[in-house]
């Protein structure tokens, strides 16, 4: 069983490794669902971690139907992270009709090799998940991150299970979104996935002693100026242990 933790800052990446994660997905812009992180943060994380690092390639928040300029930016980012020596990239591109943009995905995958390549939850916004599955296989993705096209993986469990059955050994199906201590065992048991993706989210208060109480937040996010969102080391450990415990019972 492989446990992947999505992280949005350096502290979370360190907590994920210490907590027992097998891999991290490094992103920026937590509030926007994850976008491409800075090269500087990626380099620091690479220098501090011993586990594999997959990096998000997403030029903006919102949908996954990209302009030519955005596609050009994605290619440039892949080249930079590949040169940095990271282990994998994570992306997904859809056509306006809701199908996987096969040509563009294939181009990015070829550019990224020999790195591992994951199709992220753009998959969950595709018109037909089973058609998208075959397109991901044809494009050459190594895995698909999916919540079964629902808000939470637990709610999409039946679709995830069907995706695993149809995928067979052609591509890995990784369940993700909302997976926690209470749901990870059942999701693994019912679906047969061999990879899970989760955030183990927590918060800590800012270490600032002086605080300007006139500022409730930065930008348009009130209440965030003195709150740091992190992956909890303890939660990572608990979820990983539950995943492994279920993995042992499946294989016994």
Q: Beta partners for 89? A: 55, 117
Fold classified for 2-203+230-251: TIM Barrel (3.20.20)
Please report where in the chains the tokens 């089973």 appear, as a residue: 130
pTM of the full structure: 0.94
Structure tokens at 209: 């002693």
- In the chain, pLDDT over 70 holds for what percent of residues? 94
Look at the alpha carbons of 217, 222, 223, 228 in this order and tell me if their dihedral is positive or negative.
negative
Considering only 8-12, 27-31, 218-222, which range has the smallest mean pLDDT? Answer: 218-222
Residue closest to 178 by CA, chosen among 170, 190, 167, 186: 186
Query: Where residue 219 falls among pLDDT bands split at 50, 70, 90?
Result: low
- Asked whether the predicted pLDDT for residue 252 surpasses 80, the reply is no
Residue closest to 142 by CA, chosen among 122, 121, 113, 165: 113
Cis amide linkage into residue 114, ω under 30° from 0: yes
Q: Determine contact, residues 201/232, Cβ cutoff 8 Å.
A: yes
Predicted local confidence at residue 225, as pLDDT: 82
Q: Determine contact, residues 151/122, Cβ cutoff 8 Å.
A: no
Query: Where residue 249 falls among pLDDT bands split at 50, 70, 90?
Result: very low
Predicted local confidence at residue 222, as pLDDT: 67
């Amino acid at each position: 069983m492989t446990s992947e933790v999505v992280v949005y800052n350096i502290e979370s990446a360190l907590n994920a490794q210490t907590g027992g994660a097998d891999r991290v997905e490094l992103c920026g812009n937590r509030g926007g669902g994850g976008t491409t992180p800075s090269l500087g943060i990626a380099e620091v994380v690479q220098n501090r971690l011993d586990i594999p690092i997959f990096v998000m390639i997403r030029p903006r928040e919102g949908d996954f139907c990209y302009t030519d300029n955005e596609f050009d930016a994605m290619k440039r980012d892949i080249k930079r992270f590949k040169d940095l020596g990271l282990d994998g990239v994570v992306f997904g591109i859809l056509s306006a009709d809701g199908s996987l943009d096969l040509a563009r995905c294939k181009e990015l995958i070829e550019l990224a090799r020999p790195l591992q390549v994951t199709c992220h939850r753009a998959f969950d916004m595709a018109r037909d998940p089973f058609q998208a599955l075959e397109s991901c296989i044809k494009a050459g993705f190594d895995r698909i991150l999916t919540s079964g096209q629902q808000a939470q993986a637990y709610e999409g469990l039946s679709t995830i299970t069907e995706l695993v059955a149809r995928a067979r050994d052609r591509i890995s199906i990784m369940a993700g979104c909302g997976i926690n201590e209470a749901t990870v065992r059942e999701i693994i048991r019912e679906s047969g996935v061999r990879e899970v993706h989760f955030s183990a989210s927590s918060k800590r208060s800012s270490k600032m002693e002086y605080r300007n109480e006139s500022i409730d937040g930065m930008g348009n996010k009130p209440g965030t100026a003195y709150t740091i969102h992190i992956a909890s080391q303890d939660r990572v450990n608990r979820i990983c242990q539950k995943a492994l415990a279920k993995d042992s019972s499946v294989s016994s």
